[in-house]
Amino acid sequence: MKICIIGPVVIPILGKDQKYGGIETVISIAEEEMVKRGHDVYVFASGDSKVASKLVATTPKALGQGVSFAKEKECNRIAYELAIAERPDVIWDNTLAIHAQEMRENHSKFLFKADIILHPDELIDTDGIPVVQTWHGPAKDHLPKLIRDLSDAGQYFVSISKDQARRYLECFDIKNHLGTVYNAVNTDFYTVNYNKKGDYLLWVGRFCMEKGPHIAIEVAHKIGVPIKLIGKKAEKHETDYYDKFIAPRLGPDDEYLGMSTLEEKAKLMRNAKAVMMTNLWAEPFGLVVAEAMASGAPVVGPALGSLTEMIDQAGLLIPVDDLDLSENDTEVTASQLKYIDRIAKNMKKVDSIPPQVPRKRAEYLFSPKHNVDGYEAAFSKAMFLKESKRSGLIQG
């Protein structure tokens, strides 16, 4: 199969050298496995990316955080035009066709929030080549309308969790949904320490209200265990959140370690008492969850969104249906305080979860093999549907 993969260009795709970038990590793991299987794979990304397949640069270097939307759009337009010229069997786009989007206004405060629309008449005609989009984001804000417009334009979609798929399909009927494919982690890279001390908690992610690292810090203080935090605070809403909610809460034994290498993150995960996923929103997937589980670390998070299907009995899920949690909060609310207390009261349960339980579940659900099996099936289905429509076997 000849596959053209279009990636974002804000940060490079770096494989095992990736310090941050969920979508970039997803692409890297998938394209490497696809190459191993003999597929002819092209990745359209920044020229400083490192991939196993053929790299086609749409800009010499990654554009960087906070770059103008117009530059991202132009790189994406170039990617589409170059991909079409390759005449692949399928184009796998991970940007929701940003070349045809318009950002009207950025409302970000302590999380990213923007008014973005799609102009269908600006979509590049792929001349019969099916386009498969992965839903990397949640079914909220501008995304449902944007994806409905892409569906009306004939593009196809893969969801990254069953909960995410349900939430999108509640917004509108998407006849072009190809199914759910869980993101992968390199399960051969992550290892388990069966003799760990487990004397700290770990939080990993973007510093923003929806990810709730301040919740994790408060839980750590309540149970008397230090916490280490690694993650990104590059954009204004992230630094604003960090300055207000994180910096004042860090105790003498807590550590903010900045951005980590993959090796550093893996070591921190396999030696942690637990990895805290203290979200205030319905996470559509949560790559940190899969990485932690592959390291044998129990994950602590709300019984909300994709976490229920990902973690199941391999971690600690906290009931939150009776709490009025919101990623749009701008202060610590009464519901957040109840959430903190509820987590803290249940934290002893993580000590009874053997490392092999999350590890085995990660091997089963989040391996590169499982991931690419799913994408091969999705791509084949998209190719069949596109050809059937072209030949008149399927209407609409």
pLDDT digits (tens, 9 = 90+) for 292-314: 999 999 999 999 999 999 999 99
Name the nearest CA neighbour of 45 among 1, 95, 107: 95
Q: What CA–CA distance (Å, rounded) separates 390 from 396?
A: 10
Using 70 as the pLDDT threshold, list the residues of the chain that sit under it. 106-113, 391-396
Instruction: Report pLDDT for 394.
Output: 59
2-184+367-390 against 201-364: fold identical: yes
Side chain identity, residue 357:
V
> What is the CATH code for 201-364?
3.40.50.2000
Q: What is the pLDDT of residue 111?
A: 54
Output the pLDDT for position 6. 98
Name the nearest CA neighbour of 183 among 54, 24, 308.
Answer: 24
The pTM is what?
0.92
Specify the pLDDT at position 396.
52
Rounded Cα distance, 314 and 299, in Å: 8
* pLDDT value of residue 106: 66
> Any idea which architecture 2-184+367-390 has in CATH?
3-Layer(aba) Sandwich (3.40)
Q: In what order do the strands lie in the sheet with 90-93?
A: 54-59, 40-46, 2-6, 90-93, 131-134, 156-159, 177-180
What is the structure's pLDDT at 68? 77
Question: What pLDDT does residue 21 have?
Answer: 87
Specify the 3-state DSSP secondary structure of 103.
Answer: strand
The full set of domain ranges for the chain reads: 2-184+367-390, 201-364
pLDDT, tens digit, 9 for 90 and up, residues 314-354:
999 999 999 999 999 999 999 999 999 999 999 999 999 99
At 147, the amino acid letter reads I
Give CA–CA dist 50/44, Å, rounded: 11
Q: What share of the chain is helix, strand, coil (3-state, %, to 5)?
A: 40, 15, 40
Pairing between β-strand 40-46 and β-strand 2-6 as defined by DSSP bridges: parallel
